[in-house]
């Protein structure tokens, strides 16, 4: 769980499906540290357990980790993969979750990835999830025994407005979520994450509780 509204929505969705959840919150040196606090608050609001896991990603190669790089807007630019891409991020997160899931005998791992707005991230696409599931089936004890941990990405084909509508119906506390990559006092409203969030709320015809316009 990241602290953003996608993973918050996925948590509430999993709960509504009857799952007893344990949230994994990854502290991987992201510059928007604020999302860690947001993630904890969301877990508490849902009354579920969480674990904070420190991961030593090399602090290079991504503008989300490397403080020497600026977070710039990439909206509308003709680039395949945005500079905020963190090499192997979802792969590492899912691998960890897999280890936890096998130990806790969990049935499923939920992840808030979606292929819509961020089609540039290779580890957010349907092909990747299919390949990861296949690897789980072949490379884990439970997989080999015919009961692989399910990897569920229920928002994969939703856009931000649809996700916000789903979250609204589930009473997700959007005021506790944090999306801005810059992690300042209030959302920068410029970075890609702010851009898609604003577009999503506009599309869902809802007000973002984090934005206070005069």
- Which residues are near a second copy by CB under 8 A? 53-54, 56-58, 60-61, 80-81, 85-92, 94-96, 98-104, 122-123, 125, 127-128, 130-132, 134-135, 137-141, 143-145
Whose Cβ is closer to a second copy: residue 93's or residue 174's?
93
Whose Cβ is closer to a second copy: residue 151's or residue 210's?
151
Shortest distance (Å) from residue 213 CB to a second copy: 37
Whose Cβ is closer to a second copy: residue 79's or residue 205's?
79
Whose Cβ is closer to a second copy: residue 102's or residue 170's?
102
Whose Cβ is closer to a second copy: residue 18's or residue 146's?
146
Q: What is the DSSP string of the chain?
A: --SSHHHHHHHHHHHHTT---EEEEEES--S-THHHHHHHHHHHHTT-EEEEEE----S-S-TTT-TTS-----TT---SS-TT--TTHHHHHHHHHHHHHHHTT-SEEE----SSTTTT-GGGSHHHHHHHHHHHHHHSHHHHTT-PPEEE-TTTT--HHHHHHHHHHTT--GGG----SS--SS--S-SHHHHHHHHHHHHTT---TT----
Neighbouring CB atoms inside 10 A of 54's CB total 8
Q: Which two tokens stand for residue 139?
A: 């490379």
Whose Cβ is closer to a second copy: residue 128's or residue 201's?
128
Shortest distance (Å) from residue 172 CB to a second copy: 27
Shortest distance (Å) from residue 80 CB to a second copy: 7
Shortest distance (Å) from residue 214 CB to a second copy: 41
Shortest distance (Å) from residue 98 CB to a second copy: 4
Shortest distance (Å) from residue 22 CB to a second copy: 10
């Amino acid at each position: 769980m990241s602290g953003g509204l996608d993973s918050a929505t996925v948590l509430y969705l999993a709960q509504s499906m009857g799952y007893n959840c344990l949230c994994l919150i990854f502290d991987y040196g992201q510059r928007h540290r604020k999302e860690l606090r947001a993630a904890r608050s969301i877990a508490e609001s849902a009354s579920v357990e969480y674990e904070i896991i420190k991961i030593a990603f090399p602090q290079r190669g991504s503008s989300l980790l490397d403080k020497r790089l600026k977070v710039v807007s990439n909206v509308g630019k003709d680039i395949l993969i945005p500079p905020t891409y963190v090499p192997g991020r979802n792969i590492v997160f899912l691998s960890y979750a897999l280890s936890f899931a096998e130990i806790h005998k969990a049935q499923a791992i939920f992840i808030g990835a979606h292929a819509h707005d961020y089609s540039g991230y290779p580890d957010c696409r349907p092909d990747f999830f299919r390949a990861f599931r296949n690897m789980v089936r072949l490379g884990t004890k439970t997989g080999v025994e015919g009961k692989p941990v399910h990897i569920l990405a229920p928002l994969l084909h939703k856009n931000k407005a649809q996700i916000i509508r789903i979250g609204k119906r589930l009473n997700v506390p959007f005021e506790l979520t944090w999306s801005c990559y810059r992690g300042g006092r209030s959302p920068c409203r410029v970075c890609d994450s702010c851009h898609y969030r604003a577009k999503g709320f506009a599309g869902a015809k809802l007000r973002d509780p984090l934005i206070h316009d005069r």
